[in-house]
Structure 1
Amino acid sequence: MVNFTDLDRTDRKILSELQKDSRVTNTELSERISMSATATAERTKRLIRDGFIESFAAKLAPSKVGRGLLVFVEIKLDRTSPEIFDAFKYAVERSPDILECHMVAGGFDYLVKSRVLDMEAYRRFLSDVILTLPGVRETHTYAVMEEIKDTHVLPV
């Protein structure tokens, strides 16, 4: 298995450039990293094969697709057991309205991220999605007033 420490400077440049613009052509990418197009393509294929690149996707403008309000929801379960965790995970994975869900250490069990149209849509999301998840005892919601930084770019 290849580790991050096995990557050289050129591999890291490829990862950095592709994070910024995954639509860049191989020719343009090769120019940016000062390497031949063939060598660049081979390295990119290897980075994909070795799992450093999980996928390529378009980043949509949330407000343009009716999802302008960003909310985070803390969820506390009524009890914790392998069965509840599994049922909760299964339900979350099937909800397209839940963008991210993380089991966390601390005063609650899960942190959920979602985008909705507005507060009315959030109320529907809360009642129709969040409160129907298995084992939910308590929730605390944080509606985002201003997004200061939103990036998927990892330092490499």
Structure 2
Amino acid sequence: MNVELDPTNRKILSELVANARIPISELARKVGLSKTPVALRIRQMEEMGLITGYRANLSPLQLGLTHVAYMQIRLEDTRQKALERFNTEIRKIPEVEECYMIAGGFDYLVKVRSRNMSEFRKIMAEQISALPHISSTASFVAMEAVVEQDFSLS
């Protein structure tokens, strides 16, 4: 489903992405409407599934999670049941920040965030390598985050 957004809804979403805790009265002032229509638009976008929730963004660096590694994972079996089982199991590893099924020379691209190389090695050995249907992995350690951002409409 593709949603067409009018300029007012785009502005509302941009403001909410910048500050999800903005009071409705301030948001209404910024978009040039009264509180009731703004609240109605927000509720409609929530019901449509366009707004999926509100959350606090934590700083991984302040939490000591400074080590980022990307992994290419190739599976020995890519039939639907094997993919579903792998997907279910990798979701259980809290250090896996992102996981994408990839069309190309490997099957999954996984972002793992940990405190250091030693912790990453333990996650690799005890959790990721134990996942079902893995035939091979390759790891790449990030040296510096050049761009790291949440999704926005701009």
The answer, yes or no, to whether TM exceeds 0.5 is yes
Task: Give the length in aligned residue pairs.
Answer: 154
Aligned partner of 1:4 in structure 2 is 3
Aligned partner of 1:83 in structure 2 is 81
Output the CA distance in 1 between the equivalents of 2:63 and 2:98.
18
Output the CA distance in 2 between the equivalents of 1:93 and 1:78.
19
Output the CA distance in 2 between the equivalents of 1:41 and 1:113.
36
The correspondence for 1:142, drawn from 137, 140, 143, is 140
- Structure 1: unaligned runs, 5 residues or longer: none
AA in 2 matched with 1:92: I
CA contact (8 A) 1:20 1:153 kept: no
Instruction: Output the TM-score relative to the length of structure 1.
Output: 0.92
Output the CA distance in 1 between the equivalents of 2:114 and 2:78.
29
The correspondence for 1:46, drawn from 34, 44, 47, is 44
Question: Equivalent residue of 2:30, what SS?
Answer: helix
CA contact (8 A) 2:68 2:113 kept: yes
The correspondence for 1:114, drawn from 100, 112, 115, is 112
Output the CA distance in 2 between the equivalents of 1:93 and 1:32.
39
Shift of 1:131: 0.4
AA in 1 matched with 2:12: I
TM-superposition CA deviations, 1:83-109 (whole Å, max 9, x none): 211110110122222121110100100
Shift of 1:45: 0.9
- Stretches (4+) displaced over 3 A: none
Output the CA distance in 2 between the equivalents of 1:67 and 1:78.
31
AA in 2 matched with 1:13: K
Aligned partner of 1:55 in structure 2 is 53
- Structure 2: unaligned runs, 5 residues or longer: none
Output the CA distance in 2 between the equivalents of 1:39 and 1:46.
10
CA contact (8 A) 2:10 2:153 kept: no
CA contact (8 A) 2:74 2:106 kept: yes
**1:127 correspondence with 2:125:** yes
Aligned partner of 1:34 in structure 2 is 32
Identity %: 33
**Whose helix fraction is larger, Structure 1's or Structure 2's?**
1
